[in-house]
Amino acid sequence: MANYFSDYASLCFEAFGDRVKHWVTFSDPRAHAQAWHSYNNTWRSKQQGLVGISLNCDWGEPVDISNPKDIEAAERYLQFCLGWFANPIYAGDYPQVMKDHIGRKSAEQGLDMSRLPVFSLQEKSYIKGTSDFLGLGHFTTRYITERNYPSRQGPSYQNDRDLVELVDPNWPDLGSKWLHSVPWGFRRLLNFAQTQYGNPPIYVTENGASQKLHCTQLCDEWRIQYLKGYTNEMLKEPFLSYMQIMTEIMVPTVCTLCILIAAVLLMLLLRSLS
């Protein structure tokens, strides 16, 4: 399938690459790296485009920020969600916490090897660095706390993570059972992706709210508030950038004010002398 997808991607690059300069290989990734290499080796020098990937992940907030177990569970939630596919691309391998947990569970279930595949050195080298930007889909947030699931319950994504997802009943409900408006979680996910993966260019590729009410006329105030909240969180500057912007604004402004004040004082002085 990876070869088939690479052939398909190459056809797209050839047919549309003179106009399309930003490519997203997958929203649900499988054969991403091969398509990236195809573009990099054959088309990039001619078309000067970029190839990235789109990954979806909600934010995981510890239930108790003073509890190390909850903090670890929230980190595990993010690594099993975003890190599962982003870490091989940016670091060359699955997150260590995934390898540890799935490896241990697999051994307890009587398996000779981990259910999580192992990359060869050649595969790690081939996959690492295969993204010119990170596409990020995000919709909501969950509170996370630790829960140990016995290995005898059998293999599953839920059991491997050893955690529970919770929601705050005060979060605005947007119709879909899984969707709540939690804009601050979006900002924290953006910060996490920025620091975790070496500050890559990030494009928000998915976000939005489902239909809450059946209306004959336009009635989507909840969607307006959702998009407004999430857009505002996205537009917030990181602290250092904010300080840099403030410095760039304040220094010239203060200098200008000082010059104007000096000019006014000089005019008053000249008037008094005359």
Are residues 163 and 83 in contact, defined by beta-carbon separation less than 8 angstroms?
no
The b/e string for 229-264 (b: 16+ C-beta within 10 A; e otherwise) is bbeebbeeeeeeeeeeeeeeeeeeeeeeeeeeeeee
Dist CA 23 CA 26 (whole Å): 9
Q: 21-25: which pairs have CB atoms within 8 A and are 24 or more residues apart? A: 21/47, 21/48, 21/49, 21/50, 22/49, 22/50, 22/52, 22/133, 22/203, 23/49, 23/50, 23/51, 23/52, 24/52, 24/53, 24/54, 24/135, 24/205, 25/51, 25/52, 25/53
The residue behind tokens 């920020």 is 65
Are residues 22 and 49 in contact, defined by beta-carbon separation less than 8 angstroms?
yes
Choosing from 206, 221, 237, 248, the catalytic residue is 206
Are residues 70 and 144 in contact, defined by beta-carbon separation less than 8 angstroms?
yes
Residue type, 145: T
Dist CA 26 CA 53 (whole Å): 6
Q: Catalytic annotation on 75? A: no
Catalytic residues: 206
